[in-house]
C-alpha cells in the first residue's frame, strides 16, 4: 500500500501488515490518517493555544527545546523512554509542526500530549511496536537522549524477523 503525497512521492505504509514501526512528525500524522484518524490542519488557526508547536529551528541547532510533553504511564512510549519517563511524566522535546492528530485512529491510543492538549504521540497497543511521535528525536543523536526509541525499533524488527518461518 502507498499514498501519493503532494510532493509526488509514494510513501509505503506498514499499517496494513503491522510491521514494527516508529513514525516521526509527518510520519505520525500519516500513520494516523492511513489508519482512519483525522488531523487538525493548522494548529495556530484551529486551536486556541499560546503554546508554539512550530518553533523555527535555529541553524544547526535542531534539538532546541520547545515545550514539555506529558507521557501517559504504562504505554509503550513510557517503557521505551525508560529513565526519562518509565512511569509516565514530563519530557522536554523540540517541535516543528503546524498540524496535529485531531481524531485518533481506531485501535490507537494517545501516549503523550502537550500542556495544551495537542497530541504528541500515539501508539497501537496490540502491535509489537507501532509508535508515532510528533517531535524529532533523531535530532538528539549527539546526546543520545532519545536513543531508546530507535533501540526499541531495532529490537522489535529483530524479533519480527526471528519469528519468520525458516529464519534461524
DSSP alpha helices (H): ranges in 17-137? 26-34, 43-46, 76-81
pLDDT per residue as tens digits for the range 22-81: 999 999 999 999 999 999 987 778 777 766 666 665 555 566 777 889 999 999 999 999
The pLDDT tens digits of the residues spanning 91-121 come to 988 888 788 999 999 999 999 999 989 999 9
Q: pTM of the full predicted structure?
A: 0.81
- Say how many CA atoms lie within 13 Å of 112 toward its Cβ: 29
The string over 109-135, giving b where at least 16 C-beta atoms fall within 10 Å of a residue's C-beta and e elsewhere, is ebbbbbeeebbbbbbbeebbbbbbbbb
Tell me which DSSP letter residue 75 carries: S
Residues with catalytic roles: 25, 136, 138
Amino acid at each position: 500500500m502507498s499514498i501519493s503525497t503532494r510532493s509526488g512521492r509514494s510513501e509505503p505504509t506498514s499499517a496494513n501488515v503491522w510491521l514494527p514501526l516508529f513514525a516521526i512528525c509527518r510520519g505520525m500524522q500519516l500513520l494516523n490518517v492511513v489508519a482512519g484518524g483525522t488531523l487538525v490542519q493548522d494548529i495556530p488557526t484551529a486551536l486556541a493555544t499560546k503554546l508554539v508547536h512550530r518553533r523555527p529551528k535555529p541553524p544547526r541547532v535542531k534539538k532546541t527545546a520547545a515545550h514539555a510533553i506529558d507521557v501517559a504511564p504504562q504505554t509503550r512510549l513510557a517503557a521505551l523512554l525508560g529513565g526519562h519517563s518509565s512511569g509516565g511524566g514530563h519530557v522536554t522535546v523540540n517541535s516543528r509542526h503546524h498540524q496535529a492528530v485531531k481524531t485518533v485512529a481506531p485501535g490507537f491510543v494517545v501516549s503523550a500530549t502537550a500542556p495544551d492538549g495537542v497530541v504528541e504521540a500515539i501508539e497501537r497497543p496490540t502491535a509489537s511496536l507501532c509508535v508515532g511521535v510528533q517531535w524529532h528525536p533523531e535530532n538528539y543523536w549527539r546526546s543520545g537522549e532519545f536513543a531508546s526509541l530507535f533501540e526499541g525499533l531495532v529490537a522489535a524488527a529483530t524479533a519480527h524477523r526471528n519469528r519468520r518461518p525458516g529464519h534461524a
